[in-house]
Amino acid sequence: MPKAPSIVGRIVESALGRPTRVLRVAEPAPGFLHLDLRAEPPAGGWQPGHEVQVRVTRTEARRYTVRRVEEPDRIHVLAALETGGPGALWLRGLRPDAEMTLLAARHVPLRQHGRRRLHLGDGSALGTFDALTADQPDPLVAVEASAESVPALAREWPGFRFVPAGGSPGDTLQRWLDSAIEGGALAGIDGALLLGHAQSLQRQRRALVDSEVLDRRSITTKPYWATGRVGL
């Protein structure tokens, strides 16, 4: 959740800014937006999983992930609106033909371990998981999302497991993970990618390590937001 003085934001934008036009905005499920964008590619071209930033206020930027590359200058991004933060407010104001600037450098792939990976996260991680598992025949992905969005998400991603959020962030997904560990459903995994809510990632990693399903070196974590801070 980057935050910097406006002058720093302008300098970064002048260096990494990619002129972008919105082609289409769709809502595949409550609390999620799919953006179809025409964007000037950075050095090395756009790649699935490419991380981009947008300045949503003069002093705040938000990160999103390229879900799919359709043409050299046409990309798709899936964004979660569930936290209602500055990024969500900015996203809700987007309309087709709107012009904006994406901040993007050369793609640096997210470091991952193993071949049979577990992917755990909340709605903010869904676009990243979609990008990284597109070529996997049977990905092991579990995502916590609002109860109202789960039916539509399950139809869109039938190979993913969606659990309805309840209580504090990450609680439902933690129960799913504990049950999967106890029932032996994670046998054979040799790596994990944990994304989204910072405090939830810590609990998930601890459960995987303490149960000896994985060692710490086989787990990649990347927090997108945290309790007590401004949301996405």
Q: What does the DSSP 8-state code read for residue 96?
A: T
What pLDDT, in 10s, does the model give residues 116-175?
999 999 999 999 999 999 988 788 999 999 999 999 999 999 999 999 999 899 999 999
Tell me whether residue 112 is in a domain. no
Q: How far apart are CA 138 and CA 99, in angstroms?
A: 37
Tell me which amino acid residue 184 is: G
Tell me whether residue 160 is in a domain. yes
User: Residue 91 class from Cβ within 10 Å (0-12 exposed, 13-18 middle, 19+ buried)?
Assistant: buried
Of the residues 103, 134, 168, the one at which a domain ends: 103
Q: Are residues 147 and 186 in the same domain?
A: yes
Q: Is residue 173 within 8 Å of 120, Cβ to Cβ?
A: yes
Tell me whether residue 1 is in a domain. no
CATH number at residue 173: 3.40.50.80
Q: How far apart are CA 210 and CA 229, in angstroms?
A: 28
Q: What is the pTM of this model?
A: 0.91
Tell me whether residue 232 is in a domain. no
Give yes or no for residue 197 having a pLDDT over 60.
yes
Q: Are residues 46 and 82 in the same domain?
A: yes
Q: Where are the alpha helices (DSSP H) in 97-170?
A: 126-132, 150-156
Close Cβ partners of 26 (under 8 Å, ≥ 6 residues apart): 33, 34, 36
- Average per-residue pLDDT for the chain: 92
Q: How far apart are CA 85 and CA 229, in angstroms?
A: 10
Q: How far apart are CA 65 and CA 15, in angstroms?
A: 19
Of the residues 69, 103, 137, the one at which a domain ends: 103
Of the residues 103, 134, 163, the one at which a domain ends: 103
Range of the domain at 10: 6-103
